[in-house]
Amino acid sequence: MTRGPLEHETPDRLYAVTRGRMPVPDDALDVVSLIMSESESEPGMQSEYRRILALCVRPTAVVEIASYLRFPVSVTKILLTDLLDSGKVSARHPSASPATPARLPSLDLLQDVLRGLQQL
């Protein structure tokens, strides 16, 4: 494995930014849910929230936000849930259901993926 981006992180910092909250196991956010800012930063806002709002002026996936903030995905989701709950960001969720032989992705989606790859 490559050296992790969080190697220099201290658990204390992660604890502080989430105010000690634990990850929610079955949260609504997917790693590829796209997050959009719906408002500007406010004075006195926690710096992580401000960074998220600055980043998400364009749609940004949860996993990208985690990477840029150098937080684990689960910690990032806690912060995003705060912003979602207060209406400061919105989320565009993936529609794909788990791909199994019984539930395949739609042909329309597959056509888009195929065309997109062919145009690379």
Partner 1 sequence: MDSNNSDPFEQPRLASTASEGIKVVIIGGFGVGKTTLVQAVSEIRPLCTEETMTRASEGIDDLRRGTGKTSTTVAFDFGRITLTRERVLYLFGAPGQERFWFLWDRLFLGSLGAVVLVDDRRLDDSFYAIDRLEAAGTPFIVARNRFGKNQHSLDAVRGALQLSERVPLIDCDARDRQSCKDALIALVEHLFTLHSAREAV
User: What residues line the site for partner 1 (CB under 8 A)?
Assistant: 1-6, 22-23, 25, 30-34, 36, 55, 58-61, 63-64, 66-68, 70, 72-74, 92, 94-102, 104-105, 107, 109-110, 112-118, 120
Q: How far is the CB of 64 from partner 1 (least distance, A)?
A: 6
Residue 81, Ramachandran bin (φ over 0: left; ψ between -120 and 50: alpha; else beta): alpha
Q: How far is the CB of 77 from partner 1 (least distance, A)?
A: 10
Give the C-alpha separation, 19 to 58, whole Å. Answer: 27
Instruction: Check if the beta carbon of residue 34 is closer than 8 Å to that of residue 86.
Output: no
Q: Which two tokens stand for residue 53?
A: 């709002």
- Nearer of residues 44 and 47 to partner 1, judged by Cβ: 47
Residue 18 CB partners (closer than 8 Å, separation 6+): 75, 78, 79
Taking the least distance from each CB to partner 1, the nearer of 16 and 109 is 109
CA distance 67 to 45: 21
* Closest to partner 1 by CB, 85 or 99: 99
Q: How far is the CB of 61 from partner 1 (least distance, A)?
A: 5
Cβ proximity to partner 1, 50 vs 70, nearer residue:
70
